[in-house]
Amino acid sequence: MPTIHIPVKGMSCASCAMSIENTLKDTPGVEDARVNFANQTATIEWVEGEAPVENWREKIRKLGFDLDTDSLAEKKNL
């Protein structure tokens, strides 16, 4: 199962990280998600082909945060 680490923009507290983590975990195709407030990253395990990165980003933007998917441009399968 693929795993990726994505920078998260806009977090200001541990509660923010928990909201993002729970939202990611509720996203179809995402098997597990962990968000680390201290290093401002999300670690996501997903089922390939079932959970496009743009779906994750859209859900997180609705919460008022953003995933820095620009740093993933070289990864073709996301």
- Residue 72, classed as helix, strand or coil, is helix
Answer whether residue 78 shows pLDDT above 90.
Answer: no
Beta bridge mates, 24: none
The pTM for the full model equals 0.86
State pLDDT tens for residues 22-60.
Answer: 999 999 999 999 999 999 999 999 998 887 888 899 999
What are the helix (H) ranges across 3-46?
14-25
Q: What percent of the chain has pLDDT over 70?
A: 90
| Residue 33 CB-density burial (10 A; 0-12 exposed, 13-18 middle, 19+ buried) | buried
* CATH architecture assignment, domain 3-72: 2-Layer Sandwich (3.30)
Distances, alpha carbon 47 to alpha carbons 12, 24, 27, 50, 61, in Å: 29, 13, 11, 6, 22
